[in-house]
Amino acid sequence: MSTATTTSATAQPASGRTEAQEIHFKSDRAAKIRMYLGLAALVIWGLAPFYWMVVTAFRDVGYTFDTTPWPTHVTLDNFRTAFSTDRGNHFGAALVHSSIIGVATTTVAMVVGVFASYALARLHFPGKYVVLGIILGSSMFPGVALVTPLFQLFTTLGWRDGANYQALIIPNISFALPLTIYTLTAFLAEMPWELEESARIDGCTPGQAFRKIMLPLAAPGLFTTAILAFIASWNEFLLAQQFSTAQTQTVTVAIAQFTGAQPHQEPYTAVMAAGTIVTVPLIIMVLVFQRAIVSGLTAGGVKG
């Protein structure tokens, strides 16, 4: 009897876990290690180009091709060169133009997109999924195919000269709207519609229920979609290169037209400095709206 008891006690690990539990614990720990290693590899892969851009932006122009992986010969001259207009660069004005175009595009796309996506998610009508398919298909339409017809149209309308922001805002809206509608439709379809029905029973009109109940709950999706639409407009280059003028030149076009001190010299360090500056508004926007996104997530919780 005592021998059997001793054998059973020996099979039990000192930590109190059985052998099967110990194997399961080690397996979970190995899986977590592999997951964290994979995430670390993805983060390094994604941030390495940005890190090298920042390092080059702060590096003296004489050491442009230095392969030292950390900042050396640090200087701010590249940022001064990026904003200097002595070589015909107008990067400062381009930042203002891109901000105007991005804000206008995002505002119109969100206003139209939120009503369209709400109708597609809430209402049932024949051909609803066909409409969603057309919207999704339009987002895949190649923008280069629109350059020639838009060029002819804008030339006829006289939008190829002067400060005609609409020549850039309208095409950007046509690309941002499918993204906005499709993303918000998927988000709104998962929302608890019982809250809207309860608000209607309590005396709210459909507009009041939408404005006071559904929109606050949809805050995470709204902010996320707005950020995506703004980034898409901010980074657009193809149409901006064709339709922008000196009064509406965007940052992507301005950076592509940077000139060096000598003919045929590519100002890599100035370009990297400008690229670093261009990412700052995106980072600020995410940090500013981060609290709103989190608060929207917590406000959307419903107690059972």
Residues recorded for the chain: 304
CA distances from 171 to 44, 149, 187, 237, 271 (A): 35, 12, 25, 12, 27
pLDDT of residue 248: 92
User: What value does the CA radius of gyration of the chain take, rounded to a whole number of Å?
Assistant: 27
Q: What is the DSSP string of 97-146?
A: HHHHHHHHHHHHHHHHHHHHHHHHHH---TTHHHHHHHHHHHHTS-GGGG
Q: What is the C-alpha end-to-end distance of the chain, expressed in Å? A: 54
Q: What is the DSSP string of 157-173?
A: HT-SSSS-THHHHHHHH
pLDDT of residue 275: 92
On whether the 77-299 domain is CATH 3.40.50.300, my answer is: no
Whole-structure pTM value: 0.80
CA nearest neighbour of 222 among 119, 136, 294, 293? 293
pLDDT of residue 14: 47
pLDDT of residue 17: 59
* Positions in the chain whose pLDDT score sits under 70: 1-17, 20-25, 261-264, 290-304
256 and 237 in contact (C-beta within 8 Å)? yes
CA distances from 8 to 14, 22, 130 (A): 12, 16, 67
Query: Any idea what DSSP says for residue 43?
Result: H
Distance CA(35)–CA(79), nearest Å, equals 39
147 token code pair = 């350059």
pLDDT in tens, 239-258: 999 899 889 999 999 999 88
Residue with tokens 């939408």: 210
83 and 100 in contact (C-beta within 8 Å)? no
